[in-house]
Amino acid sequence: MGSVSLNIGDGTAKFKRATVCSSAVNILMIFSVISTNLFALYAFTSSPKHQSHVLHNTHKNFSLISEHVSLILKEIDSSQKKLAKMEKELLGYETIDISRPNIANELKFFLQHHQLPLGKDSRTGITEMVASVGHSCEKSADLLSQYMTYKVSGPCPDDWSLGQKLILRGCEPLPRRRCFAKPVSKVGLSPFPISLWKPVSEKILTWSGIGCKNFECLNKKKLSRECVGCFDLANGYENQKYVKATSKSDFVIDDVLALASGGIRIGFDIAGGSGTFAARMAERNVTVVTNTLNIDAPFSEFIAARGLFPLYLSLDHRFPFYDNVFDLVHASSGLDMGGKPEKLEFLMFDIDRILRAGGLFWLDNFFCSDEEKKKTLTRLIERFGYKKLKWVVGDKVDTAGSGKSEIYLSAVLQKPARG
């Protein structure tokens, strides 16, 4: 009642709107005007001996009405403040308190509100610019302050892993900084498309904050179900993915592209490992953006070294793309958010948002830990009304080499044109 609060980063922009109270004030003001005019008319048409008495009563009544209006306006203002407080409590967080001790000066400066030079913007309705910072940063204020402690216009601390830790805690987006990132020499990058499959030099990657310090170490680890030896572009399984099927749940990329109506031009790969899916699509003149973080390996730099587009973003973040723009969205077991089913629902609705009508959603070897997991995912997919172009549930030998057979779901689904 009284205002609408729009939370932007850590700030709140208020937009006034008509409410029950504001309507009551308008009615009361109209009544006041009418009453005043009636009293004035009576005063002018009455006899002289009653004129002074009527004018006195008119002034007295007008003063009384003014007092009532003033009280109502004060009550509205108080209600607005109470509503703003309730909204913050319902959202479950308060804005970051920059007055607390041990907060870095750079963080204070970045979070300050800046008034628009010409006042209220007629297109957006906002009156000030506020910093774009994830609200969960409040829960990690000490780490955030540490991240924002540096020399202005100097070199940034070698703390990218600290920034990623904040992102994984929901502090996303991170605040901008006024320092220079550590330069890494990129000597020896190969031209495109040779870069897609030529081994990447270890010298052009950042190994700080990562347990392994070379590809040999990484390729011995199972970093994820999609990344077992995925940095070996010459001798491992990576150069066979999407062009050679090793089980019935593996789809060949050309077979999937043949199912598309209107063609495939741009795509989005969710948790795409070392970028091999994007590389195969690039060979077919399709541009693919690969979502990744540098968890235990320099994924982003490796993908970029292959001449591909890495997007450094967690799956908890709303995808920074407009609606209905992608022809294809590809995802595998990285889609599994864990925890409550609602987490996966939010993610699936965001995938649906960025995928155009008629576009393809390729679910590639999604690991089903049990039958209930498969049923839950199946029910969720069916809610969207996608057309099942391919749907395979099958066994697949664990790529980590344990020899154990696991259940995987693969599907190619076409988004319907909803009315």
- What local confidence, expressed as pLDDT, does residue 346 receive? 93
Quickly state the pLDDT bin for 412 (edges 50, 70, 90): very high
Quickly state the pLDDT bin for 91 (edges 50, 70, 90): very low
- What local confidence, expressed as pLDDT, does residue 353 receive? 97
263 and 133 co-located in one domain: no
Percent of the chain surpassing pLDDT 90 = 50
Average pLDDT of the segment spanning 136-146 = 90
Q: Is the pLDDT higher at 101 or at 154?
A: 154
Quickly state the pLDDT bin for 24 (edges 50, 70, 90): low
116 and 219 co-located in one domain: no
pLDDT in tens, 333-386: 888 877 678 889 999 999 999 999 999 999 999 998 878 888 888 999 999 999
270 and 311 co-located in one domain: yes
The domain spanning residue 288 has which CATH number?
A: 3.40.50.150
End-to-end CA distance of the chain: 34
Least confident of 271-285, 353-367, 384-398: 384-398
Query: Last residue of a domain, which of 149, 169, 189?
Result: 169
Quickly state the pLDDT bin for 213 (edges 50, 70, 90): very high
Q: Tell me, yes or no, whether 45 lies in a domain.
A: no
What domain range is 153 assigned to?
Answer: 105-169
212 and 162 co-located in one domain: no
Average pLDDT of the segment spanning 47-75 = 69
146 and 213 co-located in one domain: no
Q: Is the pLDDT higher at 116 or at 326?
A: 326
Residue 310: is it exposed, middle or buried by C-beta count within 10 angstroms (0-12/13-18/19+)?
buried
Average pLDDT of the segment spanning 205-223 = 93
How far, rounded to the nearest angstrom, does the alpha carbon of residue 41 sit from its chain's CA centroid?
A: 64
- Phi, psi (rounded to 5 degrees) for 15: -125, 120
Query: Last residue of a domain, which of 169, 185, 210?
Result: 169
278 and 151 co-located in one domain: no
For residues 24 and 78, give the distance between their C-alpha atoms in angstroms, rounded to a whole number.
Answer: 16
Q: Is the pLDDT higher at 89 or at 32?
A: 32
339 and 270 co-located in one domain: yes
- What local confidence, expressed as pLDDT, does residue 122 receive? 74
Q: Tell me, yes or no, whether 64 lies in a domain.
A: no
Number of domains in the chain: 2
Q: What is the mean pLDDT of the chain?
A: 83
211 and 163 co-located in one domain: no
- What local confidence, expressed as pLDDT, does residue 407 receive? 86
For residues 140 and 166, give the distance between their C-alpha atoms in angstroms, rounded to a whole number.
Answer: 7
Q: Tell me, yes or no, whether 396 lies in a domain.
A: yes
Quickly state the pLDDT bin for 37 (edges 50, 70, 90): low
Query: Last residue of a domain, which of 169, 194, 222?
Result: 169
Q: Tell me, yes or no, whether 388 lies in a domain.
A: yes
Pairing of strands 405-414, 387-397: antiparallel
- What local confidence, expressed as pLDDT, does residue 251 receive? 95
One-letter identity of residue 303: I
E strand or H helix that includes residue 388: strand 387-397
**4, two tokens:** 């609408």
- Phi, psi (rounded to 5 degrees) for 93: -155, 160
Average pLDDT of the segment spanning 158-173 = 93
Q: Tell me, yes or no, whether 149 lies in a domain.
A: yes
158 and 235 co-located in one domain: no
* 167 CB-side CA count, 13 A: 20
> Helix, strand, coil % (nearest 5) of the chain?
40, 20, 40
Q: Tell me, yes or no, whether 252 lies in a domain.
A: yes
121 and 252 co-located in one domain: no
